[in-house]
Amino acid sequence: MNKDTKAKIESGLLTALIMALLFLLLWYVAIDAPRETEEEGIEVAFGDSEDGGGSEPEAVPMPTEPIAQTPPPAPQAPSENDLMVQDDEESLALAKQREEERKKRAEQEELIRKQREEQARLEAEQRAEQQRIAEEQARQAAEQQAKRDNANNLMAGMFGNNQQGAQGSGTTQGASQQGGQNPVGHGSVGGNSWSLAGRNIKALPKPSTQFNQGGKVVVNIQVNSAGKVISATIGEGTNVSDYQTKQVALEAARKAEFSPSENKIQVGTITYTFKLN
């Protein structure tokens, strides 16, 4: 056997083997493939017979009454608890608003009260300052008048120039000078002296005997044009510290009367001498 023949035989066997393998593979795939099942049906006989078509299904009666439709749910009324909660919220809001308004009113009232107190304080300070100035002016005027009176008395004593109707140094004993004339500008009555420029004394009441300390009390006075004392304060030169004694002197000074004058207000002094028995 030559080589060509041997090669052809081997090729044929190999081809046969391959074909056998392919056949086996196809046969295996065909067996395992799923088969489609036929649907079962109802046999229907066609023909001229009345029963050939089978029995007819009974007709289902249709409902004659309309199908009731369910109405939509009605809105639910608020319950008593809901109303109570709503009322509580409104009450709390109203109470809070009222509290805020009350606080605002209280703050405004407090501010107005402080403003009034400050205004009253300023007015009181102003009145006190005016009173102090008036008293200081009265004191200075009284001192100046006393100096002028002392100078006049000194000149009168040096030159022997007695006042008309006066006796001695010009001071009086009792209610008037000898000769029936009241002194002008200054004088003394019952041991108590006075000084008021250009005025005569009309009445100088004696102080009450309800005093507790002896000594001298100088009272600064302001006299109007009618001769009435409109102000009386304790002046410089007082050596009495007892309050009751000072008040007795002030009460007596307020009752003093002087002659009228064109001057609206004049300042002077009244000096009271207290002696304990």
| CATH number reported for the structural domain that contains residue 212 in this entry | 3.30.2420.10
150 has a pLDDT exceeding 90: no
**What's the domain range around 249?**
93-158+184-277
The four Cα atoms 115, 118, 122, 125 give a dihedral, to 10 degrees, of: 160
Q: How confident is the model at residue 144 (pLDDT cuts 50, 70, 90)?
A: confident
67 has a pLDDT exceeding 60: no
- Does a structural domain hold residue 78? no
Closest by CA position to 205, among listed 189, 217, 218 = 189
Max mean pLDDT among 48-57, 217-226, 258-267 falls in 217-226
Q: How many CB atoms lie within 10 A of CB 220?
A: 26
Separation of alpha carbons 80 and 86, rounded Å = 10
- Does a structural domain hold residue 239? yes
Separation of alpha carbons 72 and 112, rounded Å = 64
- Does a structural domain hold residue 63? no
- Does a structural domain hold residue 177? no
Any idea which of 29-38, 184-193, 200-209 has the lowest mean pLDDT? 29-38
Q: Which two tokens stand for residue 270?
A: 């009244």
Q: Which two tokens stand for residue 72?
A: 């939509």
Separation of alpha carbons 91 and 98, rounded Å = 10
Residue with the bigger pLDDT between 120 and 29: it is 120
Q: How confident is the model at residue 131 (pLDDT cuts 50, 70, 90)?
A: confident
Residue with the bigger pLDDT between 144 and 163: it is 144
Per-residue confidence (pLDDT) for residue 146, from 0 to 100: 65
Separation of alpha carbons 153 and 92, rounded Å = 90
Residue 257 DSSP class: E
Number of domains in the chain: 1
| Burial of 25 per CB tally in 10 Å (0-12, 13-18, 19+) | exposed
| Three-class DSSP category at 37 | coil
Contact present, 188 and 166 (Cβ < 8 Å): no
Per-residue confidence (pLDDT) for residue 62, from 0 to 100: 60
User: How many Cα atoms within 13 Å fall on the side-chain side of residue 17?
Assistant: 6
Q: How confident is the model at residue 264 (pLDDT cuts 50, 70, 90)?
A: confident
Per-residue confidence (pLDDT) for residue 10, from 0 to 100: 84
End-to-end Cα spacing for the chain: 195
- Does a structural domain hold residue 176? no
Per-residue confidence (pLDDT) for residue 164, from 0 to 100: 33
Contact present, 153 and 162 (Cβ < 8 Å): no
- Does a structural domain hold residue 1? no
272 has a pLDDT exceeding 50: yes
Q: Which two tokens stand for residue 239?
A: 């050596």
Q: How many CB atoms lie within 10 A of CB 165?
A: 14
Per-residue confidence (pLDDT) for residue 183, from 0 to 100: 57
- Does a structural domain hold residue 60? no
Q: Which two tokens stand for residue 91?
A: 């009450």
- Does a structural domain hold residue 136? yes
